[in-house]
Structure 1
Amino acid sequence: MKLKYLTLENFRAKPSLSMKLGQRLTLLMGANGSGKTTLLDGIAIGLGEILTYLPSVSGMTFKKQGDIHQRDNHLAPYTRITLETSQGLAWDRLQRRDNSRKTAGEIPPGLGVKALKQHLDNTVIDPWAAGESFELPVFAYYGVSRALLDLPSSRKGFPKSHERFDALANALNADTRFKSAFVWFYNKENEEHRLQKQHKSFDVTLPELDAVRRAIMRLFPDLSEPHIELNPLRFAVKQQGEWLNIAQLSDGYQTLLGLVIDLSSRMAMANPHLDDPLASEAVVMIDEVDLHLHPEWQQRVVGDLLATFPNTQFIVTTHSPFIVEALNNHLKRSQIDGLEIPSDDIRSLLPLSPEEVAAYFITPSDAHSLMAPDVGLLDDKLLSHFNDINRLYDEMRDIQWEHRAS
């Protein structure tokens, strides 16, 4: 399931907004307070209907207060979030100001969720109930609190097994949730150790665990042999010959590593039957994808995520000009695909077609597309706040030159 359109009506500070989403990547930029996180929250609420309908999990919904648009100290009659997939499936979620007949008469007709539920019955719930094969779509939302890893200090209360639908537990809550991935990794390692003992070979591995290990080492080439250690309980990795608890790593490592472990473990839990669980179809939202990352990492993080999770639709916010310029490199790479390329650095770039990407500059009242259709790249003319520092520098340089000339 990939999303194609998002529409908000009277949602928080957005009286009306509609945008087309990129099949692989949607980039949201804008000043603090412009509403970037509001858009991610809106998508999470829309997707929350899916989780609520599936067995054993629940999704987020509207808050009791604060989600209905207010103007001149007066609440709108309703708020509505509408999502449409690239396959044409559409549904909406509605919250009324109150249950009066007068308010009901002020609400335009909507789509409801009947089509969505029928789709989930046909593709997930009925095959699951019949013991037939099905692919479970994965959804995840990572907010700015993801840097605070929830590392368990003991094994007390650890579940002994995991069901496929557990992959979606708390998946749309924006706060950190690394603990569930830690527990899953611990249980799967125990299962793998039993298999190795049974076959009397350390070469026997679990494909689900291998998928998570691949994801870690794909994004962190300097880390290896991720595993759970006991006494004390910790998630350990090897870096430059030293064994480290991931809590000892820098904020940048922890922020991105926690996300990668959580997402890859959810994919492996949701679809363990796939040859490559990392290729599960997914929608993933990341608020401030550049959070705590060095500029060098900012230049490669989006490309690395897209390459590691090849069938995931990422919807991310950022303040980083490095993300913008790196994305333009990926877009430009697609334009020379098939040509002779002598540079290893260029060949290693993931090609991204402009048709797969959407980018917007978010303001309190609107969303302006940053894609320049004539060149298939991001148009940075709207990103004037990135150029203010350079403008001031140029002005001061001109003053200095004029002074010297006089």
Structure 2
Amino acid sequence: MEVKQLTLHNIGRFDKLEIQLAPLDTIDSNVTVFVGNNGSGKTSILKSLATSLSWLVARIQSESGNGSQIPELVIKNGKNAAAIDLDVHDFKSHKGDEKGNSNDSSYFPWRVAKPRKGRKGEFKSDYLGVTKLADHYRTLLSSDEKTSLPLMAFYSVERVVIDIPLKIKDKHTFLQLDGYDKSLSQGVDFRRFFEWFREREDTENELSLPDEALEQLRLVFGDDQETWSKLAAYRASTKDRQLTAVRSAIYNFMPELSNLRVRRKPRLHMSVDKNKETLDVAQLSQGEKSLMALIGDIARRLAVMNPSLENPLLGDGIVLIDEVDMHLHPKWQRTLIDQLTKTFPNCQFVLTTHSPLVISDSKNVLTYLISEADVTRLPPLYGEDANSILLGVMDTDIRNAKVHSRLNDLLDAIQEINNDDSLFKAKQLLTTLEEDLPTQNIEIAKAKILLRKKELRLEKNS
């Protein structure tokens, strides 16, 4: 399943906005990124997608299910109504007759509309497309309870994991449709992730051979290679497929981590090995906890919703992540899109970011700049340095604006040196800057070289 186009009518600051999402004919990537200043409308786009997709989630779960409505506060000031149009392409629904002729469109458009209270709106909701697509998935589920379902998830800026709540207040089920539970409203839920992980691990442990039993067998069989090969194969076969997928996803993003597991002594907690040291997950940094929770949640939902896949991470769907760079080290920001697409290759991603590193280190990404005037599709930014993107795309100085202005004044003063007075003026500017900036500042070093050349030239002319 892919979202091909989103159209907003009177949403937020937009009168009408048509956005095509990757992949396109000219871009085979499955990643769309929006950049822009705070308040430009990036989050409004993601929330509108989540609102529209909530109708598909609701109608897959129930034939008469209702998704979220457009909040009245989202309707543009001065307008009576708003609407969100979504055009979805689903390959699995595209069928043909015996001669190979298509008898069913694979495109499913629908509209969610909302008038203000007491107003007549010019838009009418149309749920025919979403009803047909949801009916298609319910038909598949009716004939095969292990059929794959598309993931739809929205991770807002409120996804930050500050603590690790492991006390289970309510018992939850983890059936296939539970993969949609709060997927478009709550985002990361580490408590639910832990509860699911513990349940799957308990089942896995019941089927596998414990380390103590292996030690006893080693005393009996010694180092007989044939016996140990068979035991290794059996132990591998008892590994839970869903847990294996989740562990693999987390380790792909954070290769320094390994052996994620639930520990019950001295108290119930989740532990992980980091660089050969065993840590409580709560001891990880804010960025590590947030990234683990995000990737773990995506992988968990894919695992639950694709029970028949040998590798559940190959399931498809659409994932929306607001401020994807939040709390991430620059090194992780650089590799984030590549890691997302390699780990979840069949998912469509729609991201927002403030980081030039996110959009400059991945090839073939569809990038939009949201400015006050309009929304512009940017040319490929792969390989651009971060400073160029800050200046040319994000309209932001590459350094402190006051320092930048003072450096320019210094360079201008150096260029204008033609006598002792102008030389003295330039040296004064340099001295005051040296008092405020670190001694290893590269711009200061360059200015010193230019100043010395001008000084020597002035002496020679004298």
Tell me if both proteins adopt one fold, taking TM over 0.5 as the criterion.
yes
Correspondence for 1:360: 368
- The 8 Å contact of residues 36 and 42 in structure 2, kept in 1 or not, is answered as yes
**Aligned amino acid, residue 116 of structure 2:** R
Superposed displacement of residue 108, structure 1: 4.4
* Residue from 151, 154, 165 that aligns with 1:141: 154
Higher relative contact order (CA closer than 8 Å, sequence separation 6+):
1
Correspondence for 1:312: 347
**Cα 1:143–1:263 shift into 2, 3 Å:** same
1:236-255 → structure 2 map (5 Å cutoff): 236-255=271-290
1:333-348 → structure 2 map (5 Å cutoff): none
Superposed displacement of residue 64, structure 1: 4.6
1:48-197 → structure 2 map (5 Å cutoff): 48-55=54-61, 61-62=68-69, 64-71=71-78, 76-86=79-89, 87-98=106-117, 103-104=120-121, 107-108=122-123, 112-122=126-136, 124-131=137-144, 133-148=146-161, 151-159=164-172, 161-196=173-208
Query: Deviation digits for residues 210-252 of structure 1, max 9, x if unmatched?
Result: 1011101111110001111224222211012222122211111
**Cα 1:155–1:179 shift into 2, 3 Å:** closer
Q: How much is the aligned-residue C-alpha RMSD, in angstroms?
A: 2.8
**Aligned amino acid, residue 188 of structure 1:** R
Distance in 1, matches of 2:356 and 2:195, equals: 37
**Cα 1:225–1:60 shift into 2, 3 Å:** farther
Superposed displacement of residue 389, structure 1: 2.9
* Residue from 408, 412, 416 that aligns with 1:395: 408
Which 5+ residue runs of structure 2 have no aligned equivalent? 24-29, 90-105, 211-229, 416-425, 427-450, 456-462
Structure 1 residue 40 corresponds to structure 2 residue 51: no
Distance in 1, matches of 2:187 and 2:300, equals: 17
Distance in 2, matches of 1:153 and 1:217, equals: 21
Distance in 1, matches of 2:130 and 2:262, equals: 39
Look up the SS of the partner of 1:385 in the other structure. Answer: coil
Superposed displacement of residue 98, structure 1: 3.4
Which 5+ residue runs of structure 1 have no aligned equivalent? 332-353
Q: Which of these two proteins has the greater Rg computed from alpha carbons?
A: 2
- The 8 Å contact of residues 59 and 170 in structure 1, kept in 2 or not, is answered as no
Distance in 2, matches of 1:283 and 1:30, equals: 22
Superposed displacement of residue 54, structure 1: 2.3
**Aligned amino acid, residue 10 of structure 2:** N
Distance in 2, matches of 1:364 and 1:62, equals: 27
Distance in 2, matches of 1:396 and 1:126, equals: 71
* Residue from 295, 307, 323 that aligns with 1:272: 307
Correspondence for 2:17: 17
Distance in 2, matches of 1:4 and 1:63, equals: 21
Structure 1 residue 326 corresponds to structure 2 residue 361: yes
Distance in 1, matches of 2:355 and 2:308, equals: 38
Correspondence for 2:252: 218
Correspondence for 1:385: 395
Look up the SS of the partner of 1:94 in the other structure. Answer: strand
- The 8 Å contact of residues 306 and 312 in structure 1, kept in 2 or not, is answered as yes
Query: Deviation digits for residues 123-165 of structure 1, max 9, x if unmatched?
Result: x112223445522000111111222256333244333x41100
Correspondence for 1:2: 2
- The 8 Å contact of residues 166 and 194 in structure 2, kept in 1 or not, is answered as no
Distance in 2, matches of 1:365 and 1:400, equals: 37
TM-score relative to the length of structure 2? 0.73
Query: Deviation digits for residues 259-291 of structure 1, max 9, x if unmatched?
Result: 010000000001121121101102011111111
- The 8 Å contact of residues 60 and 172 in structure 1, kept in 2 or not, is answered as no
**Aligned amino acid, residue 253 of structure 2:** L
